[in-house]
Structure formats: C-alpha cells, structure tokens
C-alpha cells in the first residue's frame, strides 16, 4: 500500500460529505447517490474497493448479524423462552427449543435467571427482533458464572480481536486469561485472580484508546511487557 | 467515545465485591483513594459564581445565582439560601425527565444542610433592610456525566462556587439588580467554618470512598459526613446514612476518621484552587 | 434611554454592530465532540458567549409500545437551560418555552435522520444550555446535529442553524443578546433558521418582530451563507474523530 493509499484508507468522513462524483463509482454501505454524487450518511472511515465506495462506521449501536457470537443479559422470560438484551435497537429472544437438552417451564429460572449473562449466538435477524441460539457445533456458548465483563464500542471489536485473532491472542497469553469477545462489544474476561482480570481489562482499554495508531500490535506487546510487573 | 463504559450486572457486582474484599478495586485504586479531581471555574459567565468539578469521569457543575426578596418572618435580618441538584438526563441513560427524584432531592438537601449548619454563610450580612429586603443565594448543581459519588462532587462544587462568587451590581435606591455586571465583593462567608464532604461506602464489611457507578451500584450502604474546622478541632456538621445496610459503631467511627483525613486534603485543594482563581481574576482586570 | 424614532427614510439607524462585527459576520464559533462519555454521541457548540451541549442516546426500543412509529424510528428532543445560564435565574425544570424549543428542534433534525430501517425505536437528544447570550436554540441544533453524527445515526446531511436578525432596517447574522434588545426605529426582529447543509433546504424557521417581505428574503439568503460557515466547522470537528 502506498502512503497515499494508506492515508486515503484512514480518511474519516462525516454525514453529508461528498465522497466521489460521477459514474465511475457505485454507492456501497452507508452511502447514497444524490444526483452524480456519492454521499456518506454515517460517521466513519471511507473505503474504496475497485468501483465501490463505502463507509465503515466508527460509532453507533450494535447491529446484529447472523452468526455473531454476543454476550447478552437475561431481562425477562415467558413460557416459550427468554428475552435477552444484546444491545442494539431491538430485543433478542432465545426460545426453549434453541437450548440444548430439555428444559421444563418450571426450570427456566434456574437455567437462565433474570440478570444472568450468557454467551449466545445470533441465528436469525428479523426486522425488529433477533433470534438467538445456544446450540452451536463448536460449543463455547453458555451462562457466565464468574469473571469480569467489559463493555466497549462494538466498532472497536475487530481491532481488539485483530487479524485472525492475533491481537486478542497476545493479550490472552500475557494476562493468562481466557477472553471471549462478543461482537456486540461485551467482553468476558476469565482469569484466576482479580489482578489478572484487571490487567486484561486495562490492556483492552489501551487498545481502545489507540485504535487509530499504526503498528498497534507491537505497541500492545510492549505495553503488556512494561506493565506486567506493575499489576501486583 | 470508544472508552469502555461500565454497566452493572450480577457478574460485575461479584467482581466489585470480590476485589473490595481483598481491599482492591477494579481501577487499581485503594479503598480510601479518591479519583483525581479536576476543577474549572467560570462555567457560565452569567452566574454570580460557577464551577465544574470532575472526579474521574463524574462531572458536576454548580452555579450561584443571587436575588433579592423579603426575609422569612422568623429570620427578619437574615438572607436566604436554596440548594438544588439536577440529575440531567444528558448525563446518564438512567436519568429521566420529570419531577426531581428522591436521589436528586436528597443530594440537594444534604449539601444544603452542610452549608447551613456549619455557619459557613453569614446570613446576617446578606440583610439589606431588616424585615423588608435580603439577598437570596441559589446554589444550583447539575450533573453533566454520571460515574458515581455525586454527593461529594456536588458538595465540593457548591463550596467552590460560593467561594468564588461575587455580588452583582445592585442599585440600593431602585432595588434593581444589574445582572451581568459583577462587583469585586465576595459573598459573606466565614471561611473557617467551611464544610467539606466525604461519603464513605460499604460493601460486605469493607469501607471505601469515591465509588465509580458500578461500585456504587454494588454498595449496600453509605454515610455522608461533612466536616468543618473552625478552630483547632474538627467538627462534624452534617451526616446522612443512606441505603438499607447497617453499621457498627466501629465502622461509623472509622468512616468519621477517614472523612477527617480527607477534609485536610480537600481543604488544601480548595485553598489552592481559589487562590489560583483570585490571581487570574486580578490579572484579567489589568 | 433610547427613544423610538419613526424612520420614514430607507436609511437604517443600525449601521454599526454593538460588538463591531460586520453585518454578515458570525461570533467566534468552536465545537468539540465526545464531551459526555456516558452518551452514545455528544457535542459541545460555542457561538460567542452562548454554550450548548448535546448528548444522544439510542436508537433503542421506544416504550410504551403505543408511542412507537411502526414505519421508522423517531427523534425525541429535550431542550433545557441551566438555571445559572442566564442573568435572572431560571427555575430548574420544564418551561413552556423549553417545550416549544424542544419540538421545533425535533422538527429541525428529523428530516435528515434516516430511521426507516429502525422502526419502533427512539433516539433521545438532550440539549442543555450552559451559558446563554442569544441564539441558544441555534447553538443547540448545531450541537445536536454533531452529536447525532457522533452517535453513528445515519443522516443524509448535517443541520446548521443561525439566528438572523433585523435591527431597524439592517439584516445581520448571528444576533447576540444586546442586539435582541435593540429598540430603535423598527426595533429588533429575530429570525432563527436552520439549513440542511447540502440540499440547502430549511428545517427550522421562526420569526418575531416586523419585517418587510424583501428584507425577509435578504435574511433567508444571508442565513444560508451563514449556515454554510457553521456546517464547515461541524464537518471539520467530526472528521477529527479518533
């Protein structure tokens, strides 16, 4: 990538900003065509791929996508399932059918009670509601019993995970914590001691404060080394 | 934006309690360690005095507005004081519009009590004409960002605002206040009576101060203690126990001890900040 | 004490502005985003001595259900002045004036937000005035527009507002408190207006005073130019987002 392409890639655009003009380009995500112009309709980073111009949002509520693993809070329940808050504009629902094994209506509260947090997966996105499932081949879904929860802007999640999980792996290794990152911005940190968990939390805060920096993975690694001793 | 925003869940409560039990906190502070305090004067140039207090991410503003009115019948030669706290919906997803909630009312009343009972304000010097006209001081606090410990932030803001407030121009003959035109005249305060507030909180059997929102959501009880030191000895000038936890006598005395310790720190801070303010006010006059 | 003069000629009594500004000159403006960490989006907008802060929460499901719009999300605005933002203290709480300003602000912002994909939701916009020196609803709209963008709300374009005025026969941009109280000749006419940054359409328009039709036309044209300057600052501030 040339320097020009790099700076072009990281260009922040705001709603109403004209990104391109003419018939050479097509409007992608978060852009509209107004006459000859392609206009951004969201605050974010502009990206041009071939002829497609799109905006990658930097802020805003979580928009659920099929397959997303998220962390949600049980808000309520009825005879057919649980109402879950996964952030975003709409509520989510987990039916009894989508929970492994057989759950009696009377047992529901003990399986997932109000206020409990669960690691769950989005399997259907409807117009104003989301369906969740706890049945997943790889496992990893279930109730959170202990650990530390951190909430971040969901748009930071890709940075925190890193390319093919490289960034989060660096943190897991350095802090000796098991970390589950929900696409909705909730992150579950499991560690032996509260100090390890706090250390992992601080590492995530560091990433969030420096997302626009280049070479972030290296910076995170050195930050982790520096602060290893300080944690307790 | 992009900073981790904390929300309270059962799991987080467990973490806060677990850490506190080891005398640790999720942000690395010690139990009686307060967050850094940032003070900015002059939030509104229309106020007779105004200040913004930041305690960590909690941000509270306080403005002083003066008015003239008839005195109360049983206090014919004394000025008046009102105190209010607005929990602005802007500052938290948990605040809504409508009548002031008990949370807002309590904070207003607790701060008011400290300012009044300590005799910090010399009410008699606010008298213009006994039985007819007195000055009224309005201490209005508002939250701009909520992250726990609103009472202490509000109380500190109230004191700083009162210390740096100045009378507006007032025409004795016509009784007209020229708002926007300020004099050099400070409010009649007995500085030696200055009340400074520390609220101590409890989780399990551990005591601490200056909670973040998630810590405050986990607490079982609190005691707000306002200290003043008119002469050689510290005096308690107001107290309020909140929450449905109970406290042992030892716990209460420990909290008072911490409030006295914190009083010294706060007093130094207030003196420094007011002095800075007065120096820069002098400079801008030249 | 100024006396009301009956001015029959075309010449205006107000030729020099009280603070020395040119007729089309705005007061110094500045802006900042992210000032309320708890909010989904927030911004501060300063116009001369007027300071407005706006915070956005949402989109989130609107309750109770009967208040929802099944076709698209809605914007709900609450405008409020702090008690010590003005000379004579305002009692904390809602006033009729703040209710009206909340509603016209909502009408000013709604045309740009694209909430068709978010039926049944609400976006709460809270505007607070910390310091008032006229033009508060405009500063509020300017802050709110930025806060909405900061919050990631899809918007066709930004909204920029300015308080235009007529002092006797002179059209001025960005009226301040002193001008608002002007009493000579035809007195002061206050015309707050808001323009959509790109399309140049008007989404807020109010007027009180007395103004001839051609003078009014002059005002709305000058208002457009003034709003372009506001939009420039709003855009620049948003693009500095980290």
Contact call for A194 and B6, based on CB within 8 A: no
ipTM of the complex: 0.90
Q: What CATH code is carried by the domain that includes residue A159?
A: 3.30.1370.10
Residue B30 class from Cβ within 10 Å (0-12 exposed, 13-18 middle, 19+ buried)?
Answer: exposed
How confident is the model at residue A6, as a pLDDT? Answer: 47
Contact across the interface for C157 and A30, Cβ inside 8 Å: no
pLDDT at C8: 56
Nearest to A152 among B4, B14, B22 (CB): B4
Query: Of A94, A118, A143, which residue constitutes the final position of a domain?
Result: A143
Task: Name which of A85-99, C3-17, C127-141 the model is least confident about.
Answer: C3-17
Q: How far is C19 from chain B (nearest CA, A)?
A: 16
Does A202 lie in the same domain as A184? Answer: yes
**Cβ A14 vs Cβ C235: under 8 Å:** yes
Residue B51 lies in a domain: yes
Residues of B in contact with C85 (CB under 8 A): 44, 46-47, 63
Is A86 a member of any domain?
A: yes
- Structural domain harbouring B103: 11-285
Q: Which residue of A has its CA nearest to B5?
A: A151
User: Which CATH number do you get for residue A83?
Assistant: 2.40.50.140
C123 touches chain A (CB under 8 A): no
Mean pLDDT of B62-74: 95
Q: What is the mean pLDDT of residues B97-101?
A: 89
Map tokens 């004795």 to a residue: B172
pLDDT > 90 in chain C, percent: 85
Indicate whether A176 belongs to any domain.
yes
pLDDT in tens, C72-94: 999 999 999 999 999 999 999 89
Q: How far is C211 from chain B (nearest CA, A)?
A: 30
Overall number of domains in chain A = 3
Query: How far, in Å, CA of B248 to CA of C142, rounded?
Result: 54
CA angle B50, C89, B174 (to 5 degrees): 110
In a domain, C75, yes or no: yes
Distance in Å, alpha carbon of A7 to nearest chain B alpha carbon: 21
Residue A61, pLDDT score: 86
Strands A12-13 and A117-125: unpaired
Structural domain contains residue B102 = yes
For residue C5, give the DSSP letter: P
Contact assessment for residue B137 and residue B64, using Cβ atoms and an 8 Å cutoff: yes
Report pLDDT for A4.
Answer: 47
| b/e B85-98 (16+ beta carbons within 10 angstroms → b) | bbbbbbbbbebeee
- Kindly report the CATH number assigned to the domain that includes residue C123: 3.30.230.70
Model pLDDT for residues A151-170, shown as the tens digit of each residue: 899 998 998 998 888 899 99
Min distance B1 CA to chain A CA atoms (Å): 7
- Tell me if A42 and C242 make a contact (CB, 8 A cut-off): no
Q: Looking at the domain assignment, is residue A3 inside a domain?
A: no
Q: Is residue B88 part of a domain?
A: yes
CATH code of the domain in which B260 resides: 3.30.230.70
Q: CA nearest A15 in C: which residue?
A: C157
Q: Which residues in chain C are closer than 8 Å to A211, comparing Cβ atoms?
A: 242
Tell me, yes or no, whether B273 lies in a domain: yes
How many Cα atoms sit within 13 Å of C115 on the Cβ side? Answer: 27
> Is the residue at B4 inside a domain?
no
CATH number, domain containing residue A25:
2.40.50.100
Residue C133 placed within a domain: yes
Stretch B36-40: mean pLDDT, rounded?
97
Number of domains within chain B: 1
Identify whether residues A171 and A132 lie together within a single domain: no
**Would the pLDDT of B208 be above 50?**
yes
- In chain B, pLDDT over 90 holds for what percent of residues? 82
A208 or C10, higher pLDDT: A208
Name subunits touching B (3+ CB pairs < 8 A).
A, C
Residue A211 to residue C242, Cβ atoms within 8 A = yes
Backbone φ and ψ of B26, nearest 5°? -65, -20
Residues A139 and A153 in one domain: no
In a domain, A42, yes or no: yes
In order, the DSSP letters of C94-125 are --HHHHHHHHHHHHHHTTTB--TTSTTEEEEE
Give the total number of structural domains in chain C. 1
Residue A208 sits at the chain C interface (C-beta within 8 Å): no
Average pLDDT score over residue span B62-89: 95
Structural domain includes residue B6: no
Task: Say how far apart CA B176 and CA B171 lie, in whole Å.
Answer: 5
Please tell me the distance from the alpha carbon of residue C150 to that of residue C39, in angstroms, as a whole number. Answer: 10
Q: Is residue B53 part of a domain?
A: yes
Q: At what angle do helices A194-209 and A216-228 cross, to 10 degrees?
A: 150
- Looking at chain C, which residue has its C-alpha nearest residue A213? C242
Question: Hey, is A80 helix, strand or coil?
Answer: coil
Angle CA C86–C88–C94, to nearest 5: 70
Band the pLDDT of B248: cuts 50, 70, 90.
Answer: very high
Q: Is residue B78 part of a domain?
A: yes
Instruction: Single out the residue in A94, A111, A143 at which a domain terminates.
Output: A143
Query: Tokens 């801008």 appear where?
Result: B284
Q: Cβ neighbours of residue C215 under 8 Å, at least 6 residues apart?
A: C166, C169, C171
- What is the residue range of C59's domain? 9-239
Residue with more model confidence, C9 or B203: B203
Residues C111/C116/C122/C126 CA torsion (nearest 10 deg): -30
Q: Are B159 and B191 in contact (CB under 8 A)?
A: no
In the numeric block, which tokens belong to residue C141?
Answer: 């709209």
Residue C1 binned pLDDT confidence (cut-offs 50, 70, 90): very low
Query: A43 CB near a chain C CB, below 8 Å?
Result: yes
Q: Which residue of C has its CA nearest to B63?
A: C84
The alpha carbon torsion through A220, A221, A226, A232 (nearest 10 deg) reads 90
- Average pLDDT in the B38-42 region? 97
Give the structural domain span for A37. Answer: 8-57
Contact B1 A59 (CB under 8 A): yes
The answer to the question of residue C4 being in a domain is: no
Q: Which residues of chain A fall short of a pLDDT of 50?
A: 1, 3-8, 232
pLDDT at position A7 is: 46
Average pLDDT over chain B, rounded to an integer:
92
Asked if C37 and B5 count as a contact pair (C-beta separation under 8 A), the reply is yes
* pLDDT number for residue B8: 63
- Cβ–Cβ gap A61/C60 under 8 Å: yes
Is the peptide bond preceding residue C64 cis, with omega within 30 degrees of 0?
A: yes
User: Residue B279: what are its φ and ψ, rounded to 5°?
Assistant: -65, -45
Which residues in chain C are contacts of A43 at CB distance < 8 A?
149-150, 152, 238, 241
A100, A122, A143 - which closes a domain: A143
CA separation, residue A136 to residues A67, A98, A140, A182, A207 (Å): 10, 10, 8, 15, 30
Digit-coded pLDDT (tens) for B214-244 = 899 999 899 999 999 999 999 999 999 999 8
pLDDT band at B207 (very low <50, low <70, confident <90, very high): very high
- Residue B129 pLDDT greater than 90, yes or no: yes
Question: How much is the pLDDT for C3?
Answer: 46
């Amino acid at each position: 990538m040339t320097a020009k392409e790099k700076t072009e890639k990281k260009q922040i655009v705001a709603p109403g900003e004209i990104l391109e003009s003419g018939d050479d380009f097509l409007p992608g995500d978060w852009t509209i065509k107004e006459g000859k112009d392609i206009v951004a309709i969201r605050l974010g980073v502009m990206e041009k791929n071939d002829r497609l111009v799109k905006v990658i949002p930097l802020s805003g509520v979580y928009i659920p996508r099929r397959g997303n693993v998220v962390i949600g809070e049980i808000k309520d329940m009825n005879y057919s399932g649980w109402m879950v808050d996964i952030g975003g504009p709409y509520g989510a629902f987990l039916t009894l059918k989508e929970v492994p094994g057989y759950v009696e209506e009377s047992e529901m509260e003990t399986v997932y009670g109000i206020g409990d947090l669960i690691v769950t997966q989005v399997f259907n996105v409807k117009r104003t509601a989301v369906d969740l499932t706890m049945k997943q081949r790889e496992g990893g879904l279930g109730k959170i019993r202990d650990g530390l929860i951190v909430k971040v802007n969901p748009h930071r999640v890709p940075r925190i995970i890193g390319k093919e999980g490289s960034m989060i792996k660096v943190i897991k290794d350095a802090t000796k914590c098991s970390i589950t990152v929900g696409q909705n911005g909730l992150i579950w940190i499991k560690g032996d001691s509260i100090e390890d968990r706090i250390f992992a939390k601080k590492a995530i805060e560091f990433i969030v404060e420096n997302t626009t920096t280049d070479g972030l993975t290296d910076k995170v690694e050195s930050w982790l080394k520096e602060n290893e001793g300080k944690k307790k | 934006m992009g900073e981790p925003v904390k929300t309270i869940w059962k799991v987080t409560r467990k973490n806060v309690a677990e850490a506190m039990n080891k005398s640790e906190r999720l942000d690395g502070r010690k139990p009686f360690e307060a967050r850094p305090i940032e003070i900015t004067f002059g939030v509104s140039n229309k106020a007779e005095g105004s200040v913004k207090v930041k305690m960590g991410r909690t941000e509270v503003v306080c403005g002083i507005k003066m008015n003239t009115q008839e005195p109360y019948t049983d206090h014919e030669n004394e000025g008046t004081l009102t105190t209010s706290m607005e929990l602005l919906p802007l500052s938290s997803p948990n605040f809504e519009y409508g009548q002031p909630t008990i949370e807002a009312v309590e904070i207003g009343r607790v701060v008011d009590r400290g300012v009044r009972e300590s005799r910090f304000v010399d009410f008699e010097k606010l008298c213009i004409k006994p039985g007819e006209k007195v000055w009224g001081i309005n201490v209005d606090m508002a939250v701009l960002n909520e992250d726990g410990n609103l009472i202490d932030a509000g109380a500190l803001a109230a004191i700083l605002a009162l210390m740096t407030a100045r009378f507006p121009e007032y025409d004795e003959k016509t009784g007209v206040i020229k708002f926007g035109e300020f004099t050099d005249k400070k409010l009649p305060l007995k500085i030696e009576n200055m009340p400074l507030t520390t609220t101590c909180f409890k989780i399990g059997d551990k005591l601490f101060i200056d909670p973040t929102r998630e810590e405050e959501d986990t607490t079982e009880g609190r005691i707000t203690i306002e200290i003043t030191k008119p002469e050689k000895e510290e005096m308690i000038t107001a107290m309020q126990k909140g929450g449905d936890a109970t406290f042992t006598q030892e716990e209460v005395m420990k909290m008072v001890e911490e409030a006295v310790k914190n009083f010294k720190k706060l007093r130094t801070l207030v003196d420094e900040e007011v002095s800075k303010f007065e120096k820069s006010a002098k400079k801008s006059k030249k | 004490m100024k006396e009301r003069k009956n001015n029959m000629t075309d010449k205006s009594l107000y030729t020099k502005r009280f603070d020395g500004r040119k007729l089309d000159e705005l007061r110094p403006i500045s802006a900042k985003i992210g000032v309320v960490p708890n909010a989904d989006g927030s911004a501060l907008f300063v116009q001369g001595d007027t300071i407005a802060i706006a915070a956005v929460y949402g989109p989130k499901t609107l309750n109770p259900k009967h208040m929802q719009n099944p076709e698209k999300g809605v914007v709900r605005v609450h405008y409020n002045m702090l008690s010590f933002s003005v000379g004579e203290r305002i009692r904390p709480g809602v006033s009729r004036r703040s209710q009206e300003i909340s509603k016209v602000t909502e009408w000013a912002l709604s045309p740009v937000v694209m909430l068709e994909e978010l039926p049944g939701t609400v976006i709460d916009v809270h505007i607070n005035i910390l310091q008032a020196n006229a033009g508060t609803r405009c500063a509020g709209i300017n802050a709110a527009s930025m806060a909405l963008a900061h919050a990631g709300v899809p918007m066709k374009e930004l909204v920029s507002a300015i308080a235009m005025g007529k002092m006797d026969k002179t059209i001025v941009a960005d009226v301040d408190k002193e001008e608002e109280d002007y009493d000579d000749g035809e007195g002061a006419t206050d015309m707050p207006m808001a323009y959509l940054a790109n399309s140049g359409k008007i989404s807020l328009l109010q007027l009180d005073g007395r103004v001839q039709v051609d003078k009014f036309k002059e005002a709305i044209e000058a208002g457009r130019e003034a709003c372009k300057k506001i939009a420039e600052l709003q855009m620049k501030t948003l693009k500095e987002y980290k």
